[in-house]
Amino acid sequence: MASNYSLKYNVDIVMCIDATGSMNGILDTVKSNALNFYGDLINSMRKKGKQVNDLRIKVIAFRDYVADGENAMLATDFFRMPEEQEEFRDLVNTISACGGGDEPEDGLEALAYAIRTDWTRDGDKRRHVIVVWTDAPTHELGFGSKSKYYPRNMAASFNQLTGWWDQMDVRAKRLLIYAPEAEYWTTISDSWDNTMHFSSVAGNGLKEFEYEEILSEI
């Protein structure tokens, strides 16, 4: 029988990170998880007899279009790992917790950006992974659409966003949400396929076992 190590995966990961003021107490933990993700994922895959042939990581730091305008959304290109690990580290370290206005943030817009990523199509085994870290509920789509910085071609409704998710490769896609038990986040976890939801509480970091479970799902 051939070794399981013949299974080589091309993995794309998009990390959606809430960078608003309420995340001040746990953002350092989230950033630490993000920076350690490459090494931890390699080890986790190896334990399952899988190899990561190619790994790219993209970051989306989100806030609130109404309150934060041009600073509401930072979306990077992919960083190829480990070749661009230092550039990735430098970028993550620039993310600071500030702004946000009211309690809900524009998490659905961040998720839309993530879904519309130019995912890899190379390789027989692929993973297209979105990880969302937030301690806040999300506005409905379009809440901040009056801002001149609001993106064009954004999903017009939650139903359309759901349709975008449905169009992704069902064998490759994974959505891992660390967010409160709140409208939209719970709807997504209840009705979208290939999705896991870990409940968060403002001021509390990601538990060790939850982080390990995120890795195991990839």
Q: What is the pLDDT of residue 144?
A: 97
> What string of DSSP letters covers the chain?
---GGG-EEEEEEEEEEE-SGGGTTTHHHHHHHHHHHHHHHHHHHHHTT-EEEEEEEEEEEE--HHHHGGGSEEE--PEEETTTHHHHHHHHHH-------SS-B-HHHHHHHHHTS-----SSEEEEEEEEE-SS-BPPTTTTTTSTTSPTT--SSHHHHHHHHHHS-TTTEEEEEEE-S-TTHHHHHHHSTTEEEEE--TT----HHHHHHHHHH-
Q: Is the predicted pLDDT of residue 207 greater than 80, yes or no?
A: no
Identify the band that residue 42 occupies on the pLDDT scale cut at 50, 70 and 90: confident
> What pTM does this model have?
0.91
pLDDT, mean over the chain:
89
Cα–Cα distances (Å) from 210 to 110, 117, 218, in that order, read 22, 25, 13
Q: What is the pLDDT of residue 168?
A: 98
pLDDT tens for residues 46-97? 888 888 999 999 999 999 999 999 999 999 999 999 999 999 999 999 999 9
Domains, in order of start, for the chain: 4-217 (3.40.50.410)
Identify the band that residue 194 occupies on the pLDDT scale cut at 50, 70 and 90: very high
